[in-house]
Structure 1
Amino acid sequence: MRFAEEIHQKTKASIEQAYKVFLIENYSVEDSPYSSVEEMLSEEFIRKHYISEKDMQICCSLNEFDIQHDDMEEILKTHNDIRTLYLQE
């Protein structure tokens, strides 16, 4: 168990960065081939990066984003939608 925790601590920054890139590239379901945020997240982030439930907890705990983007409001909305999905589970 301690070994798994050490791995998560060492990979936390790269998981957060991959999540931020995902949000920038996929913040709009309307502009994607997916019918929901959940489907888009599953296909474009979780499966692509082999993300675990523990990794998603890291992503959902992000409160601050050091990204500059014209559509920041939409990016934060998608992030909050994802947080809602994981809080329901």
Structure 2
Amino acid sequence: MHIHRFLEDDFDTYTGQMRKPHVWGGEPELLMSSHVLQMPITVVMEDKKSKNLKVIAEYGQEYGEDNPICVIYHGYGHYDAFKNSNNTTYSQK
């Protein structure tokens, strides 16, 4: 796994930072979560012009593409999980 491409600092600095209170995860944690859970994770974001959701990242595609864990990215480092109850497809990156 190539987690280092997502890190701004070296691994030890990053893990030291992540141990602090009120520090939230991001791409490295989504990548690792897909492998721990052995499930795909799809990250979407609202397109400000069209108000549609578009796929901005996918992790764990080697575990299949059906029923991914869906996460919406709001910007500024904030993600929320959500349920895609109507099996909506999203525009790609």
The structure where helix makes up a greater share of residues is: 1
The structure where strand makes up a greater share of residues is: 2
Q: Which has the higher contact order (CA 8 A, sep 6+)?
A: 1
TM-score w.r.t. structure 2 length?
A: 0.26
Q: Quick check: which has more Rg, 1 or 2?
A: 2
